[in-house]
Amino acid sequence: MPDYVVEYTYHIDERKRPEGFPKTVSIIDHYEKIDGEQAIVELYNNRFRSLAKEPGVVVFLDQTKIDSSKIDFNSRVFIPWHMITHAHGKVNLIIPEEPKQDNLALEPEEKSDKKATVQ
């Protein structure tokens, strides 16, 4: 079963955007072992609906410095809906890497003197 990364992007109203504030912010969710396309569609829609029902969104301002191993209240910010012009989402399938085969570690096949019989 595949894994997915879903990114919800929010665009900040230029008239209300503070100086130095990003033009867009994102919430990134990771879903593991999703059973079929319909399941990810339902997860996406339910999450989008739940985010829209809140008075705003809480995001990391710098997506490159997310450290979920510690609680850090200084790296997140609440953005009320009146500062957001629109939102959209993007679903990405995570394709697992093929295990690399080390050709040098392969053992030679044992030769057999037995003949195979084809029926």
Residue 35 predicted with pLDDT over 70: yes
Structural tokens at position 82: 């009146």
Domain residue ranges in the chain: 3-96
Q: Which residues pair with 3 in a beta bridge?
A: 94
Would you say 68 and 52 are in contact if contact means Cβ atoms under 8 Å apart? no
* Banded model confidence at residue 43, pLDDT cuts 50, 70, 90: very high
Q: How far apart are CA 70 and CA 72, in angstroms?
A: 6
* pLDDT tens readout for residues 47-101: 999 999 999 998 887 766 666 676 666 778 899 999 999 999 999 998 776 666 6
